[in-house]
Structure 1
Amino acid sequence: MSDQINRLPVSIYAESTPNPISMKFVADKQLVAGSPIEFLSVDETNNSPLAGKLFQYPFVRGVFIASNFITVNISDAVDWNDIVLEFREMIQQFLSEGNLVIKEPISGADIQKDFTTSIDSNRIDSNLESRILSDQDLKIAQILDEQIRPAVEQDGGAINFKSFIDGKVTVELRGACSGCPSSTVTLKSGIETLLKRLVPEVKEVIAEEL
């Protein structure tokens, strides 16, 4: 009787990001349903065999898993050019063997159940569930979701709306965007400029440190 594993056809390619410590690995299949999931240490990976396997490398600092891609952050003491092929092959083998990326679905908070907008509530931080979102909150979140999020995901990251208080918008940057040297420029020259133009009450946009 053969012990050979029946492998599934899976294609993975690596894509560099604006963050030199981050590499994006894109799959030709869905990896998770719903909102992206980020793991910042091996202790957080009990529910994700793939993230746990990636953290076996001691220089891995973060794993971000979205619909069809994985962003891996590493120590700046390591050069991606030396390891990218090994990581691509490891991820491809893991997926082709039919292993689970996530053991159980991780659902986002059920925020403001009577939402009547098209905003994906998983893009809004769960801490907001304790208060009623204002019209300005909803408008800002919708702009981020529809006009900013696609570009951020293209770079291997994600952006979540945290709060809007006294003219200041606070967002959370994840994946490749977290700690990226160019994220401050993007935040100020791109996101802040857009929000100020579309929502005059916005005076400043800042990123919350993880």
Structure 2
Amino acid sequence: MPTVCSIEPTPNPLATKFVLDAPLQIQSARQFDSASRAFGDPLAEKLFAIDGVAGVYCTNDFVTVTRMPTADVEALEAAVSDCIEAYKPRRVINVSCENPPPGERAPSVHDVGDPFETDADDPDLLMQINHVLDEHIRPYLDKDGGGLDILRLQEFALTVRYKGACGGCPSAVTGTLFAINNLLQNYVDDRIQVILD
């Protein structure tokens, strides 16, 4: 059972990172931007039940919660910490997405945070880009309670999506995106143009 060992601010003024002392035992990072998208994820469902929660990003090592601008920060942080510490990872039950239980919708790839296949016209270039992002960008986004997914690579146009604290962060939309673009142009190919989804 994870315990929150620290609560950290992020560059996004509406997001807070809850660092854990034990892994959540999930297979991949999960991003939820609404309670309806959290359906089927027990921790995210409980976090969205807390008044003021607007977004949830879960990794094995931390949970980032984005709050509504009017939320009481101290009350929200206490409630989120209690919720995380009460969470007991459960065994995953294999439910077919094609035949969900009656009254439930099938989870989609983006709901549960499973890895999805990137649409790329040049797989070798995509591999080089991912290597540079893994070495130079993703560790820093992770420290700030966020992440980055590549959605598409078509004719050197790289479409990305921020996760966690990076989503909606003013510096991520301007400075960080510019830095990613420059880094990829310098290390991989000067024709790359990074586009935010």
Alpha-carbon shift at residue 164 of structure 1 (Å):
2.5
**Matches of 2:139 and 2:114 in 1, distance apart?**
12
Partner deviation per Cα, 1:98-134 (whole Å, 9 max, x = no partner)? x22784589xxxxxxxxxxxxxxx9974242xx6643
Partner deviation per Cα, 1:18-65 (whole Å, 9 max, x = no partner)? 001111101111113432011222222332211111111242111110
**Matches of 1:124 and 1:142 in 2, distance apart?**
17
Q: Give the structure-1-normalised TM-score.
A: 0.74
Hey, what does 2:136 align to over in structure 1?
147
Identity %: 31
**In the TM superposition, what are the counterparts of 1:1-210 in structure 2 within 5 Å?**
10-92=3-85, 94-95=86-87, 99-100=88-89, 103-104=92-93, 125-128=116-119, 133-184=122-173, 185-188=175-178, 190-208=179-197
Q: Which amino acid aligns with 1:45?
A: A
Contact 1:170/1:206 (CA < 8 Å) preserved in 2?
Answer: yes
Q: Sort the Cα spacing of 1:79 and 1:101 in 2 relative to 1 into closer, same or farther, 3 A.
A: farther
Q: Sort the Cα spacing of 1:140 and 1:123 in 2 relative to 1 into closer, same or farther, 3 A.
A: farther
Count of residues in Structure 1 that have an aligned counterpart in Structure 2? 179
Larger mean CA deviation between 31-40 and 14-23 belongs to 31-40
- Structure index of larger Rg: 1
Task: Classify the secondary structure of the residue corresponding to 1:42.
Answer: coil
**Matches of 1:78 and 1:30 in 2, distance apart?**
28
Partner deviation per Cα, 1:64-84 (whole Å, 9 max, x = no partner)? 100111111111122424532
**Matches of 1:23 and 1:140 in 2, distance apart?**
29
Q: Sort the Cα spacing of 1:139 and 1:50 in 2 relative to 1 into closer, same or farther, 3 A.
A: same
Q: Give the structure-2-normalised TM-score.
A: 0.78
Q: Sort the Cα spacing of 1:28 and 1:9 in 2 relative to 1 into closer, same or farther, 3 A.
A: closer
Contact 1:63/1:71 (CA < 8 Å) preserved in 2?
Answer: yes
**Matches of 1:148 and 1:58 in 2, distance apart?**
33
Partner deviation per Cα, 1:169-195 (whole Å, 9 max, x = no partner)? 21111111111111021110x211111
